[in-house]
């Protein structure tokens, strides 16, 4: 969410940013919120003046009574009562106007970084760099669920009967592989200096609206009926929410956290052939990384975060590439984002396995996450997040890239301690 003062002073910059994100329908909101804000500030000023005048006159009542001027004191009381009545009206109006301003500001997108390429959607994202040599083996690579089924490692039919489409049972070595990847990712991030955390898997609505846009919320979140609780779509939601309404001392920064959680997502809409199986599902597990830092340090942390994911995948012999997300592909709160994509030997192309985002002070403004500097000055923190690994998609990349001609799957050296020393599964 933008600072209303910034929007008030730079309406043309805000409008151009909306155009860059191809959200022209939101352009009228800029002028609308400026008018509402002006009316709100005018109302507030009138209320402040009225309070001051009321307080001034109220002090006269006692003096008038002491002087025996009872009639004048009674008239003054009537005047104070009239002021109070008008003040009550103004306070209601002020609250309504501020709520309207807030609701519009929640919809206007954050200012994107100047380095972000301009494009309408993910088809215009820009490849940055490839890591590792993508290989297409000289034998056929089956669909990932077929590989799993050969190890008796997945049961989709039972999951459909129990929970419907978009769920799965993982079994045996495949289930163990899933847990091994999560454990390895946890230790990988701890070794890089991040603090491990297991957060709440449900959050309140004020945290939901603090960490994501309304459009994302509607498309992703499951609400608990009858309660002000939502199932998290990623542990980033809980982890950023951890700092709601806090004042951090500057020496406490950066906060570098890596968190495990299950994730729950509606995943609305029809999906194509390649998104069957465990590619796009309603429930999965994930290791995440989150950073709360000083504004001037967020670009540096952004580079570090996506590099962590690249390094982890390369340590498991999986070729990856990074993509710079274009303006039209950025969620409204994001300043800049890079996707990490893994190589699929079966599809002979890359597919998304993680996304790294710098959100500037947008989440901090919504959640009131502030920092007190050594000089006593207070300011909003910057927040960043990135996927370490989400095993459903990681499993696809892992199985395809480590599949051998005889149908067995090689276990890279880094993962072997988490698989009981196994060098392959058969």
In a domain, 374, yes or no: yes
Domain identity same for 82 and 132: no
| Residues spanned by the domain of 235 | 122-425
In a domain, 116, yes or no: no
- Chain-centroid distance, C-alpha 252: 22
3-state class (DSSP) for residue 388: strand
User: DSSP characters for 30-74?
Assistant: HHHHHHHHHHHHHHHHHHHHHHHHHHHHHHHHHHHHHTT-HHHHH
Domain identity same for 63 and 31: yes
Q: For the segment 204-244, what is each residue's pLDDT rounded down to a tens digit?
A: 999 999 998 877 787 889 999 999 999 999 999 999 999 99
In a domain, 114, yes or no: no
State the Cα–Cα distance between residues 7 and 408, nearest whole angstrom. 58
Domain identity same for 98 and 182: no
Of 365, 100, 333, 113, the C-alpha closest to 214 is: 333
pLDDT band at 273 (very low <50, low <70, confident <90, very high): very low
In a domain, 112, yes or no: no
Q: Are 317 and 412 contacting, i.e. CB atoms less than 8 angstroms apart?
A: yes
Domain identity same for 267 and 382: yes
Query: Angle formed by the axes of helices 27-66 and 70-105, to 10°?
Result: 160
pLDDT at 62: 65
In a domain, 110, yes or no: no
CB count within 10 Å of CB 60 equals 15
In a domain, 128, yes or no: yes
Domain identity same for 340 and 385: yes
Read off the pLDDT of each residue in 18-42 and give the average, rounded to a whole number.
96
Continuous segment of H or E residues that includes residue 342: strand 336-344
Read off the pLDDT of each residue in 156-166 and give the average, rounded to a whole number.
92
State the Cα–Cα distance between residues 389 and 289, nearest whole angstrom. 10
State the Cα–Cα distance between residues 177 and 395, nearest whole angstrom. 8
The residue out of 105, 140, 155 marking a domain boundary is: 105
Q: For the segment 100-127, what is each residue's pLDDT rounded down to a tens digit?
A: 999 999 999 999 999 999 999 999 999 9
Read off the pLDDT of each residue in 344-356 and give the average, rounded to a whole number.
95
Domain identity same for 134 and 70: no
Assign residue 164 the CATH number of its domain.
3.30.930.10
Q: How many domains does the chain have?
A: 2
Domain identity same for 163 and 219: yes
Q: For the segment 55-85, what is each residue's pLDDT rounded down to a tens digit?
A: 777 777 766 676 777 777 777 777 778 778 8
pLDDT at 269 exceeding the cut of 80: no
Domain identity same for 216 and 134: yes
Q: Is 68 exposed, middle or buried (0-12, 13-18, 19+ CB in 10 A)?
A: exposed
State the Cα–Cα distance between residues 293 and 163, nearest whole angstrom. 40
State the Cα–Cα distance between residues 185 and 301, nearest whole angstrom. 19
Domain identity same for 50 and 182: no
Q: Where are the alpha helices (DSSP H) in 212-351?
A: 214-220, 235-241, 298-315
In a domain, 113, yes or no: no
Query: Angle formed by the axes of helices 298-315 and 172-191, to 10°?
Result: 140
Domain identity same for 231 and 286: yes
Whole-model pTM: value is: 0.88
Domain identity same for 207 and 295: yes
Task: Pick left, alpha or beta for residue 230 (phi over 0 → left; psi -120 to 50 → alpha; otherwise beta).
Answer: beta
* Distant-in-sequence, close-in-space partners of 6: CB < 8 Å, separation ≥ 6: 14
The residue out of 105, 134, 150 marking a domain boundary is: 105
Domain identity same for 101 and 135: no
In a domain, 404, yes or no: yes
Of 8, 240, 23, 221, the C-alpha closest to 112 is: 23
Assign residue 47 the CATH number of its domain.
1.10.287.40
Torsions phi, psi for 307 (to 5 deg): -65, -35
**Rounded mean pLDDT of the chain?**
92
Read off the pLDDT of each residue in 398-423 and give the average, rounded to a whole number.
96
The residue out of 58, 77, 105 marking a domain boundary is: 105
State the Cα–Cα distance between residues 74 and 337, nearest whole angstrom. 66
């Amino acid at each position: 969410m933008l600072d209303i003062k910034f929007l008030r002073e730079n309406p043309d910059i805000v409008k151009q940013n909306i155009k860059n994100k191809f959200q022209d329908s939101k352009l009228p909101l800029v002028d609308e919120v400026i008018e509402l804000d002006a009316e709100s500030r005018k109302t507030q000023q009138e209320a402040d003046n009225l309070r001051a005048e009321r307080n001034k006159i109220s002090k006269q009542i006692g003096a008038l009574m002491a002087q025996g001027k009872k009639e004048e004191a009674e008239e003054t009381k009537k005047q104070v009562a009239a002021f109070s009545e008008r003040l009550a009206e103004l306070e209601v109006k002020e609250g309504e106007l501020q709520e309207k301003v807030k609701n519009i500001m929640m919809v206007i997108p954050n200012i994107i970084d100047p380095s972000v390429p301009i494009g309408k959607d993910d088809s215009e994202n820009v490849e940055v760099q490839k890591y590792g040599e993508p290989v297409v083996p000289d034998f056929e690579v089956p669909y990932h669920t077929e590989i799993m089924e050969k190890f008796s490692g997945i049961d989709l039919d039972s999951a459909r009967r129990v929970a419907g489409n978009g769920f799965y049972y993982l079994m045996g070595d495949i289930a163990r592989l899933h847990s091994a990847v999560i454990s390895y990712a946890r230790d990988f991030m701890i070794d890089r200096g991040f603090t491990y955390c297991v957060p709440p898997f449900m959050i309140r609505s004020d945290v939901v609206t603090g960490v994501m846009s309304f459009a994302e919320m509607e498309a992703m979140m499951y609400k608990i009926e009858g309660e002000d609780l939502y199932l998290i779509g990623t542990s980033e939601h809980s982890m950023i929410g951890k700092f709601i309404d806090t004042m951090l001392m500057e020496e406490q920064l950066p906060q570098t956290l890596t968190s495990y959680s299950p994730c729950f997502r509606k995943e609305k809409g029809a999906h194509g052939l390649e998104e069957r199986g465990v590619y796009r599902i309603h429930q999965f597990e994930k290791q995440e990384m989150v950073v709360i830092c000083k504004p001037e340090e967020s670009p540096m942390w952004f580079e570090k975060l996506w590099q962590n994911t690249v390094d982890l995948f390369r340590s498991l012999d999986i070729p990856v590439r990074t993509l710079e997300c274009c303006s039209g592909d950025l969620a409204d709160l994001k300043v800049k984002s890079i996707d990490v994509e893994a190589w699929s030997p079966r599809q002979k192309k890359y597919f998304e396995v993680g996304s790294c985002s710098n959100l500037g002070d947008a989440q901090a403004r919504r959640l009131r996450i502030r920092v007190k500097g050594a000089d006593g000055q207070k300011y909003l923190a910057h927040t960043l997040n990135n996927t370490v690994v989400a095993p459903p998609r990681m499993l696809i990349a892992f199985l395809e890239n480590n599949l051998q001609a005889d149908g067995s799957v090689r276990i890279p050296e880094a993962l072997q301690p988490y698989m009981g020393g196994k060098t392959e599964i058969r």
